[in-house]
Amino acid sequence: MKIIFATRNENKVREVNQILGERIQLLSLQSINSTEEIPETQLTIKGNALQKAQYIHDNYGVDCFAEDSGLEVDALDGAPGVHTAYYAGPERDADANMQKTLNGLAGKTNRDAQFRTVVALILKGKAYTFEGIARGTIAMQKMGEQGFGYDPIFVPDGETRSFAQMSAQEKNAISHRSKAIQQLKAFFDDYEDLG
């Protein structure tokens, strides 16, 4: 089966490809000549995922899925949440985002957090959503060189290493995105008419 993954983030494409396996072939937005910025104006992670998938479906007439992820830090009242990608500004600078998060936690003892991913699939005109959550804590400083985004400061429950200190396989076994994509994969495996 071929399906559009509505993202321009090559890191996410690589990660999702590893999880989905060979039965599903991901096609890029470039394959449908989509170069415009896809709107993300909703107030929730789920809302943004649905908005992106619906936008591509409505404007290009293709089955597709989109995902939106957010880091929710307990002591920051759930921030950065839906604003995760541009927490420190519109530049979407990962280092600045991490530094703002670490600065916000200065002097706080509660460093509990979670990553949340919602995958929204539009298939044959019908919408489906799948959610994955990874609980953990925010490290005192950046650790590791792997991954992307906030991976160097997020330590998943049961680990002493950050996501950025793990191999792609290790991260994919426990990450929020992996949990949501595994549900998507199970949906595809069960779906009768993938034609």
At residue 164, φ and ψ (nearest 5 deg) are: -75, -10
**CA-to-CA dists, residue 135 to 128, 152, 155, 158, 174, angstroms:** 24, 15, 9, 9, 10
How many Cβ atoms sit within 10 Å of the Cβ of residue 20?
Answer: 19
Q: Which of 68, 74, 77, 151 is catalytic?
A: 68
CB 146 within 8 A of CB 161: no
Q: CA nearest 116: which of 134, 130, 98, 129?
A: 134
Contact partners, residue 78, CB within 8 Å, separation at least 6: 72
Active site residue 68: yes
Whole-number Å distance between alpha carbons of 181 and 21: 11
Question: Omega of the bond prior to 80 within 30 degrees of 0, cis?
Answer: yes
Q: CA nearest 3: which of 60, 68, 49?
A: 60
Active site (catalytic) residues: 68
